[in-house]
Amino acid sequence: MPSVVGLLEQRELTARRRVDDLREEADRLQAELALAERKWNEWGIARSHVGEVLAPGNDAVVGPAASEGLPAPGVQPARPEPAEAAKPKTVVPVWRAGLAWSALSVDYQRILQALSDRNRLGQGALTCQEMAACFGLDPVPGKVEALRSKAKRLTARGWLIEPETGRFTLAKDVAGQRGGS
């Protein structure tokens, strides 16, 4: 008959082997995750560079796809940006009658345009995850929270309203104005 200490040692050895196996698997998954994140980041950078090259007003000739103005497969076509848009990182002004959307940077104008399209189609308010999908962004927390921050800022300045927590739509007067006067 085996001793109690012998049985405990056997169980401890089995548990240690299981822990070692799981650690090896976790290390393998961590390495695989790091590789996948690096590739994902590289694709995001590539998309960003292509967006810069294909941006209106860019005189660089890149190739036939750029000269034809065709978006890459699977990439949502970008709307033309107004030439008079405010520069990125500018302060969002408080909305007032007669203030054009061009007072906002392009990122904020995209949000207003998406919500305007929803209003026009009678589809109601949007969540930030739905906005991310509209813009062709991955619905990862960083992107969604960046949109939420912008939407909250637009709400605080009177451009948007939040009829339900986390759902945004154009403020009544902004919806009727569209691009200002």
Mean pLDDT of 162-176: 85
3-class SS at 58? coil
- Give Cβ neighbours of residue 143 (< 8 Å, ≥ 6 apart): 132, 137
* Strand 126-127 versus strand 167-170 pairing type: antiparallel
User: What mean pLDDT comes out for the span 152-171?
Assistant: 91
Report the percent of the chain where pLDDT is more than 70: 77
Q: Which of 23-32, 35-44, 71-80, 159-168 has the lowest mean pLDDT?
A: 71-80
pTM exceeds 0.85 for this model: no
Average pLDDT rounded to a whole number, residues 1-24: 92
How far apart are alpha carbons 45 and 60 in whole angstroms?
19
Average pLDDT over residues 17-24: 93
pLDDT of residue 89: 58
Query: What does the alpha-carbon distance between residue 35 and residue 38 come to, in Å, rounded to a whole number?
Result: 5
Q: What angle do CA 146, 118, 112 make, to 5 degrees?
A: 45
Range from 31-40, 68-77, 82-91, 168-177 carrying the lowest mean pLDDT: 68-77
DSSP letter (8 states) at residue 57: T
